[in-house]
Amino acid sequence: MSRKARPQERSRILVTGGAGFIGSNLAHRLAGEGHEVTVLDTLARPGVESNLAWLHASHGGLIRHVRADIREKDAVEDSVRDVSAVFHFAAQVAVTTSFSDPRADFDINVGGTFALLEALRRRGGRVPLVFASTNKVYGDLSDVPLELSRDAYHPVDPELRRHGIAEDRRLDFHTPYGCSKGAADQYVLDYARSFGVPAAVLRMSCIYGPRQRGTEDQGWVAHFLISAMRGRPISLYGDGYQVRDVLEVSDCVDAYIACARHMDRVAGRAFNLGGGPQNALSLRQLIREIEVLLGRRIDVRFSDWRAGDQRYYVSDTRLARQALALKPAMSWRQGLKRLAAWLQSEEAPEEQKLEAAE
């Protein structure tokens, strides 16, 4: 899955949630390499229909859409029947939604992942599965001593400050969303151990880039840019000094493909996937850069901290870079310019779609 596939090498690959932000970028890359991609997606999230239309327009018959919910057992079993790899993104993705409807959050994130694992176990044939997990499995990290400098929180511990949070950090699920994604994360790893399903987990930090239509609940880099471009205020929950590491979506896609390609040596393992310390920044620092990029001031408003919010999270990417042979990540300033250019190119049609969804 690293070069243009010849006809005799063409594979059929399943991407659940494949019309979403990361899923559509991955499906685009795979189809561009000549693979047939089955996109299983309910199209419930506003804006994803345009991602699917883009995939069809770009790749024609190499894209097959199955409009179904990940909880639909028969549809899932049909979709895995003839595929050579599975990338699992279908999920309930917002912490706030997990509080308003924790049952649905559990059913989608745990039940849907379990249904997919069972379908692969029953099918046999050792089909690789790469699961999209989250840094929220590590909890709110409230035990990590922090200091404030240059508009950002930083760990007091110099090793943690230099490298970020590693995979040996204890799991500590917070919020219904953290619990559901964390439980699914552990099911995937255990199916690799207990049943020999060749599966691995990527615990993602903040992914951003083209085809992201962010909201206050999810996709904050794009949300900040969209709001600023349209002259809308931005609400920061907390003090805005909280730090995240951001990863441009093309680098994220590289990691997923590498994980599937190297499954023989990474099955049963979890990796932190983010921009790392070199791409770590606070919310305030991002807003300041957007102001420079757009040449205008942004109206920033503050609200209370949200449950489970981490004041600091930066991925220690050393294990993933080594195991998956990843190249250095795109700098966040370069990636921000790339996302801004895409949003500007999509401005007219996307504004109509977003306004209709509000």
The Cα angle at residue 63 between residues 262 and 2, in degrees rounded to 5: 25
Give the position of tokens 């904050």.
220
Domain assignment of residue 202, given as a range: 7-357
Q: Which pLDDT belongs to residue 167?
A: 98
Encode pLDDT of 41-63 as tens digits. Answer: 999 988 899 999 999 999 999 99
Q: In the chain, how many domains are there? A: 1
Whether 187 shows a pLDDT value over 90: the answer reads yes
Q: Identify the residue whose tokens are 């549809």.
A: 75
Q: What's the rounded mean pLDDT across residues 332-337?
A: 98
Residue 357 scores a pLDDT above 60: no
Residue 314 in domain? yes
Question: What pLDDT, on a 0 to 100 scale, did the predictor assign at position 74?
Answer: 96
Average pLDDT over residues 183-192: 98
Average pLDDT over residues 303-315: 93
Task: Specify if 176 maps to a domain.
Answer: yes
The alpha-helical segments, DSSP class H, found in the chain are: 21-32, 48-59, 73-80, 95-100, 102-106, 112-123, 158-163, 175-195, 220-229, 249-261, 263-266, 283-294, 318-324, 332-345, 347-357
Q: 120 lies in a domain?
A: yes
* Options 153, 177, 241, 313, the catalytic residue: 177
pLDDT at 124 over 90: yes
Greater confidence (9 vs 258) lies with 258
Report the Cα–Cα distance between both ends of the chain, in Å, rounded. Answer: 38
pLDDT value at position 346?
A: 84
Does residue 35 lie within any of the structural domains? yes
d(CA 233, CA 265): 47
Task: Tell me whether residue 1 is in a domain.
Answer: no
pLDDT by residue (tens digit) across 197-242? 999 999 999 999 999 987 766 789 999 999 999 999 999 999 999 9
What would the pLDDT profile of 245-277 be if each residue is shown by its tens digit?
A: 999 999 999 999 999 999 999 999 999 999 999
Using CB atoms within 10 Å of the CB of residue 20, give its burial: 0 to 12 exposed, 13 to 18 middle, 19+ buried.
buried
The tokens describing 77, both together, are: 């079993």
| In the predicted structure, residue 348 carries a pLDDT above the cut 80 | no
Does residue 2 lie within any of the structural domains?
Answer: no
Q: How far apart are CA 116 and CA 77, in angstroms?
A: 8
**Rounded Cα gap, residues 322 and 32, in angstroms:** 26
Asked if residue 95 belongs to a domain, the reply is yes
pLDDT band at 347 (very low <50, low <70, confident <90, very high): low
Nearest-angstrom CA–CA distance, 13 and 59: 14
When mean pLDDT is compared across 3-7, 164-168, 339-343, the lowest value belongs to: 3-7
Close Cβ partners of 137 (under 8 Å, ≥ 6 residues apart): 171, 172, 173, 178, 181, 182, 185, 203
Per-residue confidence (pLDDT) for residue 356, from 0 to 100: 32
User: Does the annotation mark 208 as catalytic?
Assistant: no
* C-alpha span between 109 and 71 (Å, rounded): 9
Establish if 197 belongs to a structural domain: yes
Query: What's 110's domain CATH number?
Result: 3.40.50.720
Burial class (CB within 10 angstroms; exposed 0-12, middle 13-18, buried 19+) of 112: buried
Helices 283-294 and 220-229 cross at an angle (nearest 10°) of 40
